[in-house]
Each structure stands twice: as structure tokens, then as C-alpha cells.
């Protein structure tokens, strides 16, 4: 875990990467001060908070892999191991690396508007390339600046696509535009793997104050996303969870729709 933390720089703001460690130190100092002052119960409270902060930080970066490439949630995605894959809303490359490392014959096009609006103050193509280079997969990477609501690609360009913790930042009309674009750029019968934050016990333990789109109970969260993607025309293949994450694997219809309003 420490090796990956030093190898990659995903560019998140310091409260995400160091917030728990800082809180653990501050609560520890407060417990020491309470002990010196003879405040028995305050000492106990601050000790418990210090232990929680340390454990939450280890959970976020260890179990939930916040500072490492995402772990591929299902072996069924791109099971052939090869093909051209889109990462929509690629950011600094955690999901791009997920595909490149888990599917060593695949090529990935990383699409992002490279804005600083989502907790990455220096979100640039260079940072994404550097992370992929650190993973030893730069020869299979293409980076494209662009908006996933209006993608700069032709129809049926990709065999598959992923989007991790990006679509859930959009409002519903923009999500609908993105789903339509996904269906357009993925070939008929191609795969789409969507990952979003899941309000499970891992999230509630590590980030109890988090406010996020789709931040509901696990069952509500699953029903909401499954309804959205099936209404957008995708066929569900598999759904499941990882710590802090809900994933849905889908396929585009085997035949592209035609006629007025079709994408």
C-alpha cells in the first residue's frame, strides 16, 4: 500500500489524503492535554476519536484504495482481455489504470474536461499520463480533452467503456446526455461498467459527513442507478459492491436503434 501511495499522484486535495492523519494527531494531542489536566472523561473521548481517525485513514487508503488504482470489480468486464476502451471522466487515471493493469491487451482512451472542480486542483493530462507511466502502461493510453456529455468521437468507436465516480457528480439531465453519448460511442453489444459511491458501512465509518449525489441507503442507491441505466437503454449484466462502491455492468443493445430521436 505504501509503495502505491508513493508511486502514484492522483492529485486529491489534502483533506482527502491527509485529513484523517491530521485529525488523529490533533485528537491524540487533545487526549494528552486532557490527561495532564486530569479530565478523565474528555481524555477517553479524545482517545476514541484519535483511534477512529487513524483507523478511518487506513481504511480509506487501504481497504477502499483511495490513493491507488481501482480494483477491477468483476472478471466479466472485457473478459477477452483486449479491445478499445473509453474511460469517461478519467480524472487523474485511477479507473484508466484499473483497465490497463487488469486487461493487459486493452487500449484505453481517457476522456476528461480536466477541470479543478472535483477535488483535484491540478487535474491535467500530464498528471494522468504520469500515473499511467508509473503503472507501466503508457504505450496503451490515449488522452483526449472533452466533455462526456458531448463526446468528440464517432459512433461505435469503442468496444467498451468505464466511468468511475464521475457521472454521479452530474445532475439528472446531464446524466441522461452522458448515457446517450455512451450508447452512441460504444459499439452495439459492447460493455459499459459504471462505478459510483455507495453509502455503505465503509463510507459511513470513514466519511460520516460526506454529502454526495446519490447518497442514500445501499438499497435505494442500487435501485436508483439500475433504474436510470435501464431506462437509458442499457441491458443489465451484473451488479455488485466493493467497499464504498456500487458497480453496474451493462451492455448496449446488439442492434443500434434507428429512426427519429435515435442515437
At residue 218, does pLDDT exceed 70?
Answer: no
In a domain, 138, yes or no: yes
In a domain, 70, yes or no: no
pLDDT reported for residue 200: 86
pLDDT reported for residue 169: 85
CB 209 within 8 A of CB 165: no
At residue 161, does pLDDT exceed 50?
Answer: yes
In a domain, 257, yes or no: no
**Shared domain check, 225 and 121:** yes
**Shared domain check, 198 and 115:** yes
**Shared domain check, 177 and 221:** yes
The lowest-confidence range among 38-52, 144-158, 169-183, 194-208 is 194-208
The domain that contains 140 carries what CATH number?
3.40.50.150
pLDDT reported for residue 150: 96
pLDDT reported for residue 122: 76
**Shared domain check, 34 and 130:** no
**Shared domain check, 227 and 106:** yes
**Shared domain check, 195 and 150:** yes
Q: How confident is the prediction for the chain on average, in pLDDT?
A: 88
In a domain, 260, yes or no: no
**Shared domain check, 136 and 53:** no
**Shared domain check, 96 and 40:** no
What digits encode the pLDDT tens for the residues 95-117?
999 999 999 999 999 999 987 66
**Shared domain check, 192 and 234:** yes
- Between 200 and 231, name the one with better pLDDT: 231
**Shared domain check, 95 and 44:** no
pTM of structure? 0.88
- How many Cα atoms sit within 13 Å of 107 on the Cβ side? 11
Residue span of the structural domain in which 45 resides: 2-63
What digits encode the pLDDT tens for the residues 192-206?
999 998 888 898 899
What digits encode the pLDDT tens for the residues 15-28?
778 899 999 999 99
In a domain, 263, yes or no: no
**Among 63, 98, 115, which residue terminates a domain?**
63
Other CB atoms within 10 Å distance of the CB of residue 260? 4
Distance CA 192, CA 35 (A): 55
CB 9 within 8 A of CB 72: no
What digits encode the pLDDT tens for the residues 33-84?
999 999 999 999 999 999 999 999 999 988 988 888 999 999 999 999 999 9
**Shared domain check, 219 and 100:** yes
In a domain, 261, yes or no: no
At residue 187, does pLDDT exceed 90?
Answer: yes
Question: What is the count of structural domains for the chain?
Answer: 2
**Among 63, 91, 112, which residue terminates a domain?**
63
**Shared domain check, 182 and 59:** no
- Between 221 and 45, name the one with better pLDDT: 45
Q: What is the DSSP string of the chain?
A: -HHHHHH------HHHHHHHHHHHHHHHHHHHHHHHHT-HHHHHHHHHHHHHHHHHHHIIIIIS-TTSPPPP--TTTTTTSEEEEEEET-TTSHHHHHHHHH-TEEEEEEEE---STTS-TT--HHHHHHHHHHTT-GGGEEEEE-BTTB-SS-TT-EEEEEEESSGGGS-HHHHHHHHHHHHHHEEEEEEEEEEEE--SHHHHHH-TT---TT-S-HHHHHHHHHHHHHHTTPEEEEEEEETTEEEEEEE--SS---STT--
Instruction: Write out the three cell numbers for 145.
Output: 480533452
In a domain, 107, yes or no: yes
In a domain, 76, yes or no: no
Distance CA 106, CA 72 (A): 14
Amino acid at each position: 500500500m505504501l509503495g502505491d501511495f508513493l508511486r502514484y499522484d492522483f492529485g486529491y486535495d489534502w483533506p482527502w489524503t491527509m485529513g484523517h492523519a491530521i485529525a488523529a494527531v490533533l485528537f491524540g494531542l487533545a487526549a494528552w492535554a486532557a490527561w495532564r489536566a486530569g479530565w478523565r472523561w474528555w481524555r477517553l473521548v479524545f482517545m476514541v476519536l484519535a483511534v477512529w481517525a487513524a483507523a478511518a485513514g487506513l481504511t480509506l487508503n487501504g481497504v477502499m484504495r483511495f490513493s491507488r488504482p481501482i480494483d477491477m470489480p468483476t472478471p466479466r468486464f472485457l473478459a477477452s482481455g483486449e479491445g478499445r476502451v473509453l474511460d469517461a471522466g478519467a480524472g487523474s487515471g485511477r479507473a484508466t489504470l484499473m483497465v490497463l493493469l487488469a486487461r493487459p491487451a486493452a487500449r484505453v482512451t481517457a476522456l476528461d474536461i480536466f477541470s479543478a472542480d472535483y477535488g483535484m486542483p491540478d487535474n491535467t493530462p500530464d498528471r494522468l499520463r504520469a500515473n499511467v507511466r508509473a503503472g507501466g502502461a503508457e504505450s496503451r493510453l490515449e488522452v483526449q480533452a472533452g466533455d462526456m456529455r458531448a463526446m468528440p468521437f464517432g459512433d461505435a468507436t469503442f468496444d467498451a467503456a468505464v466511468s468511475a465516480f464521475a457521472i454521479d457528480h452530474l445532475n439528472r439531465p446531464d446524466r441522461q446526455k452522458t448515457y446517450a453519448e455512451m450508447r452512441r460511442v460504444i459499439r452495439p453489444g459492447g460493455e459499459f461498467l459504471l462505478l459510483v459511491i455507495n453509502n455503505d458501512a465503509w463510507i459511513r465509518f470513514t466519511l460520516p459527513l460526506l454529502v454526495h449525489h446519490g447518497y442514500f441507503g445501499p438499497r435505494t442507491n442500487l435501485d436508483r442507478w439500475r433504474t436510470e441505466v435501464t431506462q437509458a437503454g442499457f441491458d443489465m449484466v451484473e451488479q455488485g459492491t466493493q467497499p464504498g462502491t456500487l458497480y453496474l455492468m451493462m451492455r448496449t443493445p446488439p442492434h443500434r436503434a434507428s429512426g427519429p430521436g435515435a442515437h
